[in-house]
């Protein structure tokens, strides 16, 4: 019977990945770290359930291929031109400066060879695209100054893998002239890209068009795999990195109109194989070696974070960025990245780095990646404190606002906050918007809104905007947890103030009341009622009958629904079922 022992390895990898990722998701940690932990647990230096085999190595290589293809898909010529100042300028200087500095330290003080120093410097200059973009997305910072700059740097780092991957095979040659090797690497990369792009321009678009017209999902996915794996194979065949071939394939497809469908088709495959790649990295961790080297790992990790964040902060100041977002950006991008794993594994394969040193450096990279959410939070708080200090300096905020009273405070200029502010503005009602995004404040102030930057959980700022003299506070942050924290904070410090906020579900409305909310608008309830209103109106039901039906639904529901704001569209005013008494 044919040997199917490889299924044993695959099943263990899949089972471990599912179990650990669920746990890490519940803990709010990056799945990439979960895969590393899972690999370490089942590997030969952990519980010994699985050893590194040809099967696991092949899966890891497929993970690298799909990762680089996906990165290539995200890059287009138009995107690069639109962001050239920060992608090519800032991002290029960050990579060159960081790689040169780390390479110099390794060569001059640690006494490593020039080739090894260049590899280490180039690998550690990269940041983690997966984790940084996840952190940015979780906090809705994509459109902020920090988010756009971080994306530009990560974009340039993605481009920088081209010369790095081409240079690695050349560095393994004896009596190497580094300058000529780098020049040759760039020349080879340029030739390879020109050939593959020419083929792509001539054949890729018409072939994809023909396959798309066949309306066969299987055929479309099969051809996409041919493009990805074929480019990787031919790149390796001509003496270049297979990862480079996959990257160029992504660039080719990105220039076609089928980019987004391809991206959707390979998303699951990329996530699966990339997860298995991280697990094979974890399997190589030698715990005895790591425990013996733990003080050095911590020291090296802190040194890497300090080095990268300092360089980025200095570059931010050179590019005339304010100090607050410069610090936030520096800490956000101070970790090592997933490309370091790829580079170190390829360097070990080329016998450019000893296995022990590779494990040490991959552990340092993993440690810094694990600290990213904490570093991002630290950067965010430092940025807020610096901005707050600037706002409170010389009573600047108090002088701008004056002794305003009987006004409404809107916290958060989200979509909901924007609507509330617009209505108050049109009705001529006194209001103040407090927003923690400096860019939004600057833009919307120019648009005529009475908006100010500030931390809604800073008592001095709340007092300066007249919270003790306001009629009510509307908490309209996008994040429901943030709404709950702010509601609790305001109620604990200003218990007489009416706080109006929103909830995603009816069930959470009761939680908001317990932390001090006076009124809670349930998004799901109000959406359902508005849809019911439209449905009844479409069949000719009178406005009176519709209002009676909706009111009856509200009255039937539990105590929680008494906290929901009911809007009478005919009267144009709101009726509150239950209102917290405010002392005179």
**Looking at 273-287, 542-556, 564-578, which range is the least confident one?**
564-578
| Token pair in block for residue 354 | 């000893």
**Could you say which DSSP state residue 563 is in?**
G
Mark whether 337 and 440 lie in a shared domain: no
Pairing, β 573-576 against β 565-568: antiparallel
Answer yes or no: is pLDDT of 344 > 70.
Answer: yes
pLDDT for 202 equals 78
Any domain includes 400: yes
Any domain includes 472: yes
**Looking at 73-82, 284-293, 486-495, 527-536, which range is the least confident one?**
73-82
**Looking at 3-7, 433-437, 504-508, which range is the least confident one?**
3-7
SS3 476: coil
User: Total structural domains in the chain?
Assistant: 2
**Looking at 88-92, 250-254, 488-492, which range is the least confident one?**
250-254
pLDDT band at 580 (very low <50, low <70, confident <90, very high): very low
Are the CB atoms for 337 and 157 separated by under 8 Å? yes
SS3 73: helix
SS3 382: helix
Mark whether 227 and 102 lie in a shared domain: yes
% residues pLDDT > 90 (the chain): 25
Residue recorded with tokens 């102030």: 445
pLDDT for 180 equals 65
pLDDT for 584 equals 44
The residues pairing with 434 across neighbouring beta strands, listed in sequence order, are 411, 452
Answer yes or no: is pLDDT of 60 > 70.
Answer: yes
| Token pair in block for residue 373 | 């959410």
pLDDT for 331 equals 95
Any domain includes 286: no
pLDDT band at 76 (very low <50, low <70, confident <90, very high): low
C-alpha 514/C-alpha 580 separation (Å) is: 12
Q: Across 359-449, where does the E strand assignment appear?
A: 408-411, 431-435
C-alpha 368/C-alpha 269 separation (Å) is: 27
pLDDT for 83 equals 72
Mark whether 394 and 272 lie in a shared domain: no
Mark whether 182 and 266 lie in a shared domain: yes
Q: What average pLDDT does this structure show over 549-560? A: 65
Any domain includes 56: no
**Could you say which DSSP state residue 76 is in?**
-
Are the CB atoms for 336 and 368 separated by under 8 Å? yes
**Could you say which DSSP state residue 258 is in?**
T
Q: What is the pLDDT of the chain when averaged over all its residues?
A: 81
Are the CB atoms for 280 and 56 separated by under 8 Å? yes
Any domain includes 491: yes
Residue with the bigger pLDDT between 436 and 575: it is 436
pLDDT band at 77 (very low <50, low <70, confident <90, very high): low
% residues pLDDT > 70 (the chain): 84
CB atoms within 10 A of CB 187: 11
* Residue that finishes a domain, picked among 370, 396, 427: 370
pLDDT band at 315 (very low <50, low <70, confident <90, very high): very high
Are the CB atoms for 277 and 352 separated by under 8 Å? no
Mark whether 498 and 539 lie in a shared domain: yes
pLDDT in tens, 397-452: 666 677 788 899 999 998 899 999 999 999 999 999 999 887 788 889 899 899 98
441 CB contacts (<8 Å, ≥6 apart)? 413, 435, 451, 452, 453
* Residue that finishes a domain, picked among 370, 402, 435: 370
Residue with the bigger pLDDT between 579 and 411: it is 411
Any domain includes 298: yes
DSSP string over 349-374: HTTSS-HHHHHHHHHHHHHHHHTHHH
pLDDT band at 552 (very low <50, low <70, confident <90, very high): confident
Any domain includes 160: yes
Q: Select the highest-mean-pLDDT range: 59-63, 196-200, 434-438, 563-567.
A: 434-438
pLDDT for 338 equals 81
CATH code of residue 541: 3.40.50.720
Any domain includes 299: yes
Mark whether 191 and 148 lie in a shared domain: yes
C-alpha 337/C-alpha 67 separation (Å) is: 13
pLDDT for 384 equals 78
Mark whether 300 and 398 lie in a shared domain: no
Mark whether 352 and 411 lie in a shared domain: no
C-alpha 495/C-alpha 516 separation (Å) is: 8
Q: Select the highest-mean-pLDDT range: 68-72, 262-266, 305-309.
A: 305-309
| Token pair in block for residue 543 | 């406005």
Mark whether 186 and 323 lie in a shared domain: yes
Mark whether 250 and 330 lie in a shared domain: yes
CATH code of residue 324: 1.20.1530.20
| Token pair in block for residue 301 | 């990790």
Mark whether 409 and 359 lie in a shared domain: no
Mark whether 453 and 343 lie in a shared domain: no
Computed on alpha carbons and rounded to an integer, the radius of gyration of the chain in Å comes to 28
pLDDT band at 575 (very low <50, low <70, confident <90, very high): very low
Sign of CA dihedral 332, 333, 336, 342: positive
pTM for the model? 0.68
| Token pair in block for residue 359 | 């494990």
Range of the domain at 478: 386-576
Q: What average pLDDT does this structure show over 317-343? A: 90
**Looking at 36-40, 139-143, 480-484, 549-553, which range is the least confident one?**
139-143
* Residue that finishes a domain, picked among 370, 396, 420: 370
C-alpha 374/C-alpha 376 separation (Å) is: 5
C-alpha 400/C-alpha 524 separation (Å) is: 39
């Amino acid at each position: 019977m044919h040997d199917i022992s490889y299924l044993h390895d695959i099943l263990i990898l899949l089972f471990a990945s599912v179990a650990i990722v669920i746990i890490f998701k519940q803990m709010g940690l990056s799945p990439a770290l979960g895969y590393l932990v899972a690999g370490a647990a089942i590997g030969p230096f952990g519980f010994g359930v699985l050893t590194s085999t040809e099967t696991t190595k092949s899966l890891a290589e497929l993970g690298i291929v799909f990762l680089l293809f996906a990165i290539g898909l995200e890059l287009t010529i138009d995107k690069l031109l639109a962001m050239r100042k920060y992608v090519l300028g800032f991002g290029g200087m960050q990579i060159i400066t960081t790689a040169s500095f780390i390479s110099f330290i390794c060569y001059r003080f640690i006494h490593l060879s020039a080739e090894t120093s260049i590899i280490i410097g180039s690998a550690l200059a990269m940041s983690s695209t997966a984790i940084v973009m996840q952190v940015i997305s979780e906090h809705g910072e994509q459109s902020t100054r920090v988010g756009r700059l971080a994306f530009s740097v990560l974009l340039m780092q993605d481009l920088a893998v081209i010369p790095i991957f081409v240079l690695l095979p050349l560095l393994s040659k004896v009596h190497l002239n580094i300058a000529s090797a780098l020049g040759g690497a760039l020349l080879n990369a340029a030739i390879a890209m020109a050939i593959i792009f020419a083929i792509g321009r001539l054949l890729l678009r018409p072939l994809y068009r023909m396959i798309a017209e066949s309306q066969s999902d299987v055929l479309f996915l099969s051809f996409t795999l041919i493009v990805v794996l074929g480019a990787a194979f031919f790149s390796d065949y001509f003496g270049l990195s297979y990862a480079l071939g996959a990257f160029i394939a992504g660039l080719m497809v990105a220039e076609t109109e089928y980019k987004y469908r391809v991206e959707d088709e390979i998303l699951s495959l990329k996530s699966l194989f990339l997860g298995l790649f991280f697990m094979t990295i974890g399997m190589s961790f030698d715990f005895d070696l790591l425990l013996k080297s733990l003080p050095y790992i911590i020291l090296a990790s802190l040194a890497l974070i300090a080095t990268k964040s300092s360089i980025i902060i200095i570059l931010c100041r050179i590019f005339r960025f304010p100090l607050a977002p410069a610090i936030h950006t520096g800490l956000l991008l101070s970790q090592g990245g997933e490309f370091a794993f790829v580079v170190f594994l390829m360097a070990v394969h080329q016998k450019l780095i000893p296995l022990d040193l590779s494990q040490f450096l991959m552990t340092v990279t993993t440690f810094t990646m694990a600290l990213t959410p904490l570093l991002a939070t630290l950067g965010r708080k430092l940025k807020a404190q610096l901005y707050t200090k600037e706002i409170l300096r010389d009573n600047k905020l108090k002088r701008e606002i004056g002794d305003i009273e009987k006004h409404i405070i809107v916290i958060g200029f989200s979509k909901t906050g924007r609507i509330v502010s617009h209505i108050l503005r049109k009705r001529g009602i006194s209001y103040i918007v407090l927003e923690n995004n400096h860019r939004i404040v600057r833009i919307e102030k120019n648009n005529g809104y009475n908006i100010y930057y500030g931390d809604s959980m800073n008592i001095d700022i709340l007092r300066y905007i007249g919270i003790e003299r306001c009629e009510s506070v509307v908490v309209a942050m996008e994040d429901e947890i943030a709404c709950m924290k702010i509601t609790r904070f305001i109620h604990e410090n200003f218990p007489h103030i009416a706080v109006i906020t929103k909830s995603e579900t009816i069930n959470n409305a009761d939680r908001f009341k317990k932390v001090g909310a006076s009124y809670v608008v349930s998004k799901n309830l109000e959406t359902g009622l508005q849809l019911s209103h439209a449905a009844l109106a479409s069949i000719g039901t009178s406005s009176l009958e519709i209002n009676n039906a909706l009111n009856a639904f509200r009255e039937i529901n539990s105590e929680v629904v008494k906290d929901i704001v009911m809007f009478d569209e005919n009267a144009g005013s709101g009726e509150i079922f239950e209102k917290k008494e405010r002392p005179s």
